[in-house]
């Protein structure tokens, strides 16, 4: 079996609407236009999907891990109606002012874990993010970086991948 090609996705600003503040209420967790249509096109090309997100609001006590999981359940359910599956949603709950870690982007530990766990070929894989720290993490892990504008419709950039 050859190794898998993966589309890694940042969460806020790529998967769901970046609001300029932490998003943790499911009513504020709004999927960006065109996301699932774009992922369906990528799925036709045998990509798998994994989300990698910094959620420092947990360390900052702005919201709980359970609130975050509720948002992720909403994402998983909405994706299922398009027959889209996320193999995993990796999150860093830390904040550098409170506890240092290696999992917060721009560090690449979560990407490396995913690459190992899901037998992914980083050279065939992409990280779609809306911040420099996303693309920095991608480069560290040997994954191709694709920087979009916050809340940009990913269909506008798929020609760069396909």
Binding site for Mg ion (CB under 5 A): 10, 12-13, 130
Which of the choices Mg ion, Zn ion, none does residue 94 contact, using the CB cut-off of 5 to 8 A by kind? Zn ion
CA torsion through residues 140, 147, 84, 25, sign = positive
CB 33 within 8 A of CB 27: no
Which of the choices Mg ion, Zn ion, none does residue 104 contact, using the CB cut-off of 5 to 8 A by kind? Zn ion
**C-alpha separations of 4 from 80, 87, 147 in Å:** 21, 12, 22
Say if residue 135 is preceded by a cis peptide, omega within 30 of 0.
Answer: no
Which of the choices Mg ion, Zn ion, none does residue 107 contact, using the CB cut-off of 5 to 8 A by kind? none
Nearer to Zn ion, 103 or 137 (CB): 103
When asked if residue 72 is in the footprint of Zn ion (CB under 5 A), the reply is no
Nearest-approach distance from CB 84 to Zn ion, in angstroms:
26
Quick note: the x/- pattern for Zn ion over 100-129, rule CB under 5 A, is -x-xx-------------------------
| CA-wise closest residue to 105 among 91, 122, 86 | 91
- Return the residue nearest Mg ion (CB atom): 13
* Nearest-angstrom CA–CA distance, 99 and 9: 24
Q: Helix or strand or coil: residue 31?
A: strand
Nearer to Zn ion, 70 or 101 (CB): 101
* Catalytic residue annotation: 10, 12
């Amino acid at each position: 079996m050859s190794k898998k090609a993966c589309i890694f996705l940042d969460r806020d600003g790529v998967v769901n609407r970046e609001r300029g503040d932490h998003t943790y209420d499911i009513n504020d967790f709004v999927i960006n236009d065109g996301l699932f249509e774009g992922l369906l096109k990528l799925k036709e090309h045998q990509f798998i999907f994994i989300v990698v997100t910094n959620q420092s609001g947990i360390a900052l006590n702005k919201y709980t891990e359970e609130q975050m999981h509720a948002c992720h359940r909403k994402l998983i359910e909405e994706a299922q109606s398009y027959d889209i599956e996320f193999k995993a949603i990796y999150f860093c709950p830390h904040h550098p002012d409170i506890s240092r870690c290696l999992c917060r982007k721009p560090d690449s530990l979560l990407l490396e874990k995913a690459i190992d766990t899901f037998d992914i070929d980083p050279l065939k894989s992409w990280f779609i993010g809306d911040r420099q720290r996303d693309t920095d993490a991608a480069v560290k892990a040997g994954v191709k970086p694709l920087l979009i504008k916050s809340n940009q419709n990913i269909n506008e950039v798929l020609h760069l991948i396909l």
